[in-house]
């Protein structure tokens, strides 16, 4: 078990709306909020819960591709824009593709552990509806080894995970895999309907699995082994949360019961320039998740809920197998049986995950942390699930690229 030199807490989570297709207020032909708007809203939403900027020692911000999506780099310099009280305080930007948000969290955790800060404001943000999807796909291809881009699919990352899905179908059967993936889509949207900030909040389709299976796979217009409902959303959003020591909680007047304690975490990196060792396994997620669980001294059976990185439905199937909830080849069956639904054996992505809530790439890791904080402290509103007294733990798994950078964090309900 990992013994941290001091206790680390997260509290005061805040999410903006995840804006993109599916939201009634989204119109690609009309001006929309920019990067600064989202950073300011998420930051101020967290500051209001901790008594203001005067209590903050430091800031971290996770973002993937603002220099290309928004022509804006140097995002650490936007943190003081949130509030005058943040002027002259140290701030850092982290980048690790879609794991950028979780890297901002771990940077804050390290500052608390090193005793250089007691309160760190952490933001995760991405505004990526600034260009057409096919051009955005080229930007997002930077999460992989760009030398492979010229030989990759026009929709590069859907193509990468389409290849994983194709390998999985060939090895274990397409029909049973698609059944589980269809149930995953249904669960994602059903959960999103309970979260007002979710991109699919307004989705009213009565039979989601029928819709999923009706939408045929067509490699001539998209990719060979997935349809668009297998894919996470192109989203504009930001999330904020405060990382604190015990002294920080006291400074801000926050009861530990309104916080979650970080028990353990692990970051694992795979060589970006090499192909995955096995297309039918998320090897890096498997290593990171089990290191974090081992560090926490618990098993998957102690978890009340998990937020996983379902950038594509096949990633969800492979993650459930990597965690050990199902043996290889049976992850889709596990999902199809309802075990990952909000009333199932292990509720997963209770506000919709990347497919239902949205995927603002650099913001996803922080959004996952906010969701776990809400669930473990009973602040999830209509999306609240039952947290058993004997299962006070939650977990987040944030993946960057095709299983290249992975951060897994284990949390415990404060007391």
pLDDT at 1: 61
Q: Residue 383 has what pLDDT?
A: 98
Could you write out the DSSP letters of every residue in 242-297? EEE-HHHHHHHT--GGGSEEEEEEEEEE--TTS--S-TT--HHHHHHHHHHHHHHT
| Ranges of the chain whose pLDDT falls below 50 | none
Taking the C-alpha atoms of residue 296 and residue 262, their distance in angstroms, rounded to an integer, is 9
355 neighbors 188 (Cβ within 8 angstroms): yes
Is 399 within 8 Å of 288 (Cβ atoms)? Answer: no
Domain boundaries 155-232+263-413, corresponding CATH code: 3.40.47.10
- What torsion, rounded to 10 degrees, do the Cα atoms 246, 383, 386, 6 define? -10
Residue 394's pLDDT is 98
In total, the chain counts a number of residues equal to: 415
In this prediction, residue 338 carries a pLDDT of 98
Report DSSP state, residue 305. E
In this structure, which topology does domain 9-132+234-258 adopt according to CATH? Answer: Peroxisomal Thiolase; Chain A, domain 1 (3.40.47)
- The Cα–Cα gap between 55 and 58 comes to 10
pLDDT for the residue 108: 98
67 sits in which H/E element: helix 66-69
pLDDT at 2: 67
pLDDT at residue number 131: 92
CATH 3.40.47.10 range(s) for the chain read 9-132+234-258, 155-232+263-413
Q: Read off the pTM.
A: 0.98
- 3-class SS of residue 364: helix
- With beta carbons less than 8 A apart as the criterion, state whether 111 and 90 touch: no
Give the C-alpha separation, 267 to 255, whole Å.
29
| Interstrand relation of 9-15 and 260-269 (parallel, antiparallel or unpaired) | antiparallel
pLDDT at 140: 92
In angstroms, the CA 250 to CA 244 distance is 10
- Exposure string for 23-51, b = 16+ CB within 10 A, e = fewer: beebeeeeeebebeebbbbbbebbbebbe
């Amino acid at each position: 078990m990992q013994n941290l030199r001091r206790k680390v807490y997260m509290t005061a989570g805040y999410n903006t709306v995840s804006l993109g297709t599916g939201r009634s207020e989204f119109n690609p032909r009309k001006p929309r909020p920019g990067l600064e708007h989202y950073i300011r809203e998420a930051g101020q939403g967290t500051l209001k819960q901790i008594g203001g900027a005067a209590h903050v020692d430091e800031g971290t911000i996770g973002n993937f591709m603002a220099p290309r999506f928004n022509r804006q780099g140097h995002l650490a310099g936007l943190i003081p824009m949130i509030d005058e009280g943040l002027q002259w305080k140290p701030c850092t930007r982290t980048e690790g593709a879609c794991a950028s948000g979780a890297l901002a969290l771990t940077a804050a955790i390290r500052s608390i552990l090193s005793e250089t800060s007691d309160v760190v404001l952490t933001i995760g943000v991405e505004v990526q509806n600034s260009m057409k999807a096919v051009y955005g796909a080229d930007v997002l291809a930077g999460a992989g080894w760009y030398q492979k881009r010229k030989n990759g699919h026009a929709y590069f990352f859907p193509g990468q995970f389409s290849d994983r899905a194709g390998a999985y179908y060939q090895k274990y059967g397409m029909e049973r895999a698609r059944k589980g993936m269809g149930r995953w889509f249904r669960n994602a949207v059903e959960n999103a309907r309970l979260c007002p900030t979710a991109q699919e909040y307004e989705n009213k389709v009565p039979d989601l699995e029928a819709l999923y299976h009706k939408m045929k796979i067509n490699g001539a217009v998209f990719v060979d082994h997935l349809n668009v409902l297998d894919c996470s959303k192109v989203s504009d959003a930001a999330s904020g949360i405060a990382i604190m020591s015990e002294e920080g909680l006291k400074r801000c007047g926050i009861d530990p019961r309104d916080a979650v304690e970080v028990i353990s975490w692990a970051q694992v990196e795979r060589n970006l320039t090499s192909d995955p060792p096995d297309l039918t396994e998320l090897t890096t997620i498997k290593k990171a998740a089990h290191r974090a669980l081992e560090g926490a001294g618990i098993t998957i059976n102690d978890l009340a809920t998990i937020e996983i990185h379902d950038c594509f439905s096949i990633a969800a199937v492979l993650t459930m197998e990597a965690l050990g909830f199902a043996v290889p080849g049976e992850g889709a069956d596990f999902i199809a049986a309802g075990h990952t639904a909000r009333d199932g054996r292990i509720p997963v992505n209770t506000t919709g995950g990347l497919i239902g809530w949205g995927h603002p790439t650099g913001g996803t890791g922080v959004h996952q942390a906010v969701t776990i904080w809400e669930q473990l402290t009973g602040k999830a509103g209509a999306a609240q699930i039952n947290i058993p007294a004997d299962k006070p733990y939650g977990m987040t798994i944030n993946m960057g690229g095709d299983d290249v950078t992975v951060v897994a964090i284990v949390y415990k309900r404060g007391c």
